[in-house]
């Protein structure tokens, strides 16, 4: 399947970009959830990893006083928009989506490194975001090599 076929399968909606758009919504909701908790001052329930508060209140959790989750929400919204537009046939936006998800996945690997080796704790919501952005990148990369 060529790049053009992935982005426009003839029926008007390409399945891979549509799946990516839906997955980007997972990251968007996760980021919005963390942003709301940041601004309301509520603790995030952390039943799986137990280290959410350590991660979310660390020196690495903000840029210029803004929580990383707000930047994540913006990135996921853009990824969602690009993927959705690509699903309806805008091939250049699918390529831009691929570039954006590569940056998002790279940043996610950096944040996982920080959690593991600098902070010494993991946040399950942060790990969900990382898994989402890495999966989005894999989808974008796989579309480059997809063959029918």
Is 59 among the domain residues? yes
CATH number of the structural domain spanning residue 73? 1.20.1440.130
- Helices 68-87 and 124-145 sit at what angle, rounded to 10 degrees? 30
pLDDT tens for each residue of the chain, 148 residues long:
444 445 444 555 788 999 999 999 999 999 999 999 999 999 899 988 889 999 999 999 999 999 999 999 999 999 999 999 999 988 899 999 999 999 999 999 999 999 999 999 999 999 999 999 999 999 999 988 875 4
Determine, yes or no, domain membership for 69. yes
Q: In terms of residue numbers, what domain contains 85?
A: 3-123
**Number of domains the chain contains:** 1
Residue 129 in any domain: the answer is no
Domain assignment of residue 137, yes or no:
no
**146 found inside a domain:** no
Phi then psi for residue 62, to 5 deg, are -140, 155
CA distances from 126 to 2, 8, 39, 76, 117 (A): 34, 33, 17, 13, 15
Question: Residue 111: inside a domain, yes or no?
Answer: yes
Question: 145 in a domain, yes or no?
Answer: no
- pTM of structure: 0.89
Per-residue pLDDT, 145: 80
What's the N-to-C CA distance of the chain in angstroms? Answer: 5
Q: Is residue 55 part of a domain?
A: yes
């Amino acid at each position: 399947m060529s790049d053009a076929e992935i982005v426009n399968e003839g029926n008007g909606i390409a399945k891979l970009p549509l799946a990516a758009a839906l997955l980007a919504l997972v990251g968007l909701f996760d980021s919005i959830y963390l942003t709301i908790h940041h601004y309301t001052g509520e603790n995030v329930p952390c039943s799986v990893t137990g280290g959410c508060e350590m991660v979310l209140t660390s020196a690495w959790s903000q840029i210029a006083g803004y929580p990383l989750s707000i930047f994540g929400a913006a990135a996921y919204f853009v990824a969602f928009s690009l993927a959705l537009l690509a699903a309806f046939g805008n091939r250049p936006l699918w390529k831009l989506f691929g570039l954006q998800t590569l940056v998002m996945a790279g940043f996610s690997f950096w944040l996982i490194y920080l959690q593991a080796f600098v902070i010494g704790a993991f946040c399950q919501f942060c790990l969900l975001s990382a898994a989402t952005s890495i999966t989005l990148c894999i989808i974008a990369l796989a579309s480059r090599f997809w063959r029918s």
